[in-house]
Amino acid sequence: MKILLDECLDRRFAREFGDLYVRTVPQMGWAGIKNGELMQLAEAEFDFFITVDRNLSYQQDIPRYSIALIVIRSVSNRYDDLRPFGDRVIAALEAAAPGTVTLISN
């Protein structure tokens, strides 16, 4: 299970995934890349892409990608606001399939 965190997420959120393989967009050297190209890069190396960008699932044709998109609907992208979503995101990883969008909200 390989997880990519969008650059809009606080990098400390990776702590919530324990021993799972998690990288951030900046760690991969992909900061500033537009969503379409980013999705293509991500699907080549990751199983899941996690973001708070609510528009991504509307701007991109997610079913054409071989990566699952998980969108967190948090009040902000600050670590303290994201942290409570950790367990629910991990549970969503088990159920998410490539080319699908999973929305997680309060």
Domains of the chain: 2-105 (3.40.50)
pLDDT grade for 72, boundaries at 50, 70 and 90: very high
How much is the average pLDDT of 73-85?
94
Dump pLDDT digits (tens) for 2-44: 999 999 999 999 999 999 999 999 999 999 998 889 999 999 9
pLDDT grade for 60, boundaries at 50, 70 and 90: confident
pTM for the structure as a whole: 0.93
Residues 77-95 as b/e (b if ≥16 CB within 10 A, e otherwise) read: beeebbeebeeebeebbee
pLDDT of residue 85: 95
Total residue count of the chain as it appears in this document: 106
